[in-house]
Structure 1
Amino acid sequence: MNVTQFIVDTYGAGTPLVSTAKRYRPSSTATKKGYILIFAHGTGFHKEHWEPIIERLYAHGGPVVEAWAIDAQTHGAAATLNRDAIDEPGFTYSSYHFAEACANLCKTHLNGTRHPIVLVGHSAGAASAALVPSFYGQSRTPPFSALILVEPAIWPGSMIGMADSLAYKLACVAIPRRRTTWRSRDAVRKDLGRRAPWGTWDKRILDLYVEHGFEEDKEGVSLRCNPVHETQPFINQINAVYPVAELDKLRKKVPVHLVYGERNDLFTREKQESLLRGRRFASVIRIPGAGHLVVQEAPDAVGDVLLSILGGLENQRYVEREYVL
């Protein structure tokens, strides 16, 4: 793949911050007809987690012109660039701020494109992806052709604090206390590779996490994403509620697809089905053998599901027009 890096400016968090993004294009001659995908990662991760999935799409001839993956301002390479601001006492961050980064990427780098845009988000990144249309005028048709939400951290307000799994409750306690520094990247790989959840990940994802999820410092290497920021979606469940109203408007205008792991670990089935209740989505797919971290555990399966969804979109309608973002 040909990879180009970009910086995206944002201002909604009360202080100027940047997001870091990468654009992935196939090495071979790009198709003239296809979709532009924008990927938003889950909490604690970074944009490079999507690379095996993007490679899968290109390897199997998916109808994709180019793919973008973007870091939340408190995660990945963006966290390093924003360190002084995001480590300030009292700094607050919500799902809207990552959504702003995704929207600004579109407005800055994709304005005027004639290719349909599809947003793809995982977990807390799915919540932010669902909020991206809120950054455009309510009277306008959303400038996106579809939304694909993978294990979305989205549920109605009535479910705040309800039906939380034991794993979810443990995460709320364990993440803020997690180890942050190792003597080397090799030490990180050896330590995490034998423990849950990292030991269940596809090796490619673990390697990408070790490479891009840590930064060098005087003590060795440390997490780029401070556990304080990683835990925010867990302890502030209101971020899971914000996207519901936006989804209720959006799903009447464009296809919204939901993708879950078949194994209910972090989110209970009751929590997931609270979003489905009374709502019609374009599809609801469960990937066998995977849990909430399906992107990390089964990237090839996620890629195959995306190929299927994109193929269905292409068969239904491929609309080429100028997208003013």
Structure 2
Amino acid sequence: MEWNISLSHPLILAMEPRRYVFRIPDTGLFFCANCYSPDIPFDDGLTYIFMHNAASHKEVWEPIIQHLFQLSSDPKLPSTCRVREAWSLEWQNHGESALLNTESLSERDCFGVHEIGDVVCCFLRLDLMLGHNIVAVGHSASVSAWILGGNRMEHLSLKAAILIEPGMDTLRGLPSEKDTRKWLHRLNSVVNRRDMWEDQASLERWLRRQFPWKTWDQRVFDLYVKHAYMDVERDGRSVIVPKCANRQEVGCYAIQDHSEALAHFTPFCAQVPVHLIFSERSEVVFWDNRKLICDTSQGRVLQPVRILPGVGHWVVQEKPELVAETIFDIVKPPAHTAKL
């Protein structure tokens, strides 16, 4: 199997990631990835691979990665708990990746999580990852992508999988008609959501009045505006639109793929130490659905489940430091306390 890999000049950002572009042989679609390195990388340290949620982009993890690097820089830590590097992978129809796939995506009305699993298995099969101690981190729909992609691997070699607000099999787990209506309303709201603004100022004003964007950390909000939208010409005038079209986004919530992910979750847990993280506010992953995911009677072996206080489904965007500290708490030695 051949892989087409190209490296462009690094972005001039606070963390100065190295930017990569990969092409999936079976579909011909591209996906982009950022690679971040700490000041002192450790060859026997951990390599984090992050995947974003729907309607997001690969740069969303930057505040979390930066804080995680700080926490992991304590010289008292064993090198195996330090950081080698961190990768953030982007879905084929989101962010910079969507621009590279414009022609292919224009012929499609939707794009499912099963196809996002292509990113997982393709990336893990690269020679680039040989010898790395990999910690997988997924949020929301990308949790299903990790499981579906991992299921296609002959041997899934991960040190751990940290799964934040997993969206597996959401509809089957809805506890009431009220929550069912709430979920269907969300799907309809994605299809009918406003998708054009005259300039960046009007976009930011609109977002800051809407849930969930009005709850986000300012740094994450700024990254979102910068990387999730683009300028285009419409009817002879310049406007701003999302890089991931609404019709493309809604396919990421299709229940079939998330149900399949839940069906493969038990064998996934048998291969990888799985750490589930939920938010206190059950805005998307409802409580009955959480019980289904955490059901050990299905043979799932799970590490202690964590519930983060005072946050909702978009915890990655709301409280990046809290997410970084929780990830570090999972990978650090039990007796270690980080001092910054």
| TM-score after normalising by structure 2 | 0.84
Once the two structures are TM-superposed, the CA of residue 60 in structure 1 deviates from its matched residue by: 1.5
Q: Secondary structure at the match of 2:270?
A: coil
1:47-58 to 2 correspondence within 5 Å?
A: 47-58=58-69
The one-letter code sitting in structure 2 at the alignment partner of 1:266 is V
1:161-180 to 2 correspondence within 5 Å?
A: 164-180=179-195
Q: Which of residues 54, 65, 74 is equivalent to 2:84?
A: 65
The one-letter code sitting in structure 1 at the alignment partner of 2:203 is V
1:266-306 deviation digits (Å, cap 9, x = unpaired): 22111121111223411211111111111111111111100
Q: 1:158 to 1:203 in 2, by over 3 A?
A: closer
> In 1, Cα distance between the equivalents of 2:175 and 2:326?
31
> In 2, Cα distance between the equivalents of 1:243 and 1:73?
19
Q: Is residue 162 of structure 2 the alignment partner of residue 148 of structure 1?
A: yes
Q: Is residue 293 of structure 2 the alignment partner of residue 275 of structure 1?
A: yes
Q: Which of residues 1, 14, 24 is equivalent to 2:36?
A: 24
State the partner residue of 2:6. Answer: none
The one-letter code sitting in structure 2 at the alignment partner of 1:192 is L
The one-letter code sitting in structure 1 at the alignment partner of 2:246 is P
The one-letter code sitting in structure 1 at the alignment partner of 2:231 is E
Q: Which of residues 246, 252, 255 is equivalent to 1:237?
A: 255
What is the total number of aligned residue pairs between the two structures? Answer: 306
State the partner residue of 1:224. Answer: 243
Once the two structures are TM-superposed, the CA of residue 109 in structure 1 deviates from its matched residue by: 5.3
Q: Is residue 147 of structure 2 the alignment partner of residue 130 of structure 1?
A: yes
> In 2, Cα distance between the equivalents of 1:309 and 1:252?
18
The one-letter code sitting in structure 1 at the alignment partner of 2:35 is R
1:1-325 to 2 correspondence within 5 Å?
A: 1-12=15-26, 15-26=27-38, 28-61=39-72, 63-89=82-108, 91-108=109-126, 110-112=128-130, 114-137=131-154, 140=155, 142-155=156-169, 158-159=172-173, 164-218=179-233, 219-234=238-253, 236-277=254-295, 278=297, 279-312=300-333
Q: Secondary structure at the match of 1:283?
A: coil
Q: 1:19 to 1:37 in 2, by over 3 A?
A: same
> In 2, Cα distance between the equivalents of 1:192 and 1:288?
25
State the partner residue of 1:318. Answer: none
> In 2, Cα distance between the equivalents of 1:313 and 1:117?
20
Q: 1:6 to 1:246 in 2, by over 3 A?
A: same
The one-letter code sitting in structure 1 at the alignment partner of 2:23 is D
Once the two structures are TM-superposed, the CA of residue 190 in structure 1 deviates from its matched residue by: 2.0
CA contact (8 A) 1:165 1:266 kept: no
Once the two structures are TM-superposed, the CA of residue 77 in structure 1 deviates from its matched residue by: 0.8
The one-letter code sitting in structure 2 at the alignment partner of 1:232 is G
Q: 1:37 to 1:222 in 2, by over 3 A?
A: same
Q: 1:160 to 1:286 in 2, by over 3 A?
A: closer
Once the two structures are TM-superposed, the CA of residue 150 in structure 1 deviates from its matched residue by: 0.4
1:153-201 deviation digits (Å, cap 9, x = unpaired): 1138854897745442221111111111112223212221122111001
Instruction: State the 4+ residue runs in structure 1 displaced beyond 6 angstroms.
Output: 160-163
State the partner residue of 1:319. Answer: none
> In 2, Cα distance between the equivalents of 1:85 and 1:115?
33
The one-letter code sitting in structure 2 at the alignment partner of 1:8 is F
Once the two structures are TM-superposed, the CA of residue 107 in structure 1 deviates from its matched residue by: 2.2
1:215-255 deviation digits (Å, cap 9, x = unpaired): 11123221001011111133x21111122233211212321
Root-mean-square deviation (CA), in Å? 2.3
CA contact (8 A) 2:220 2:317 kept: yes
Q: 1:115 to 1:301 in 2, by over 3 A?
A: same
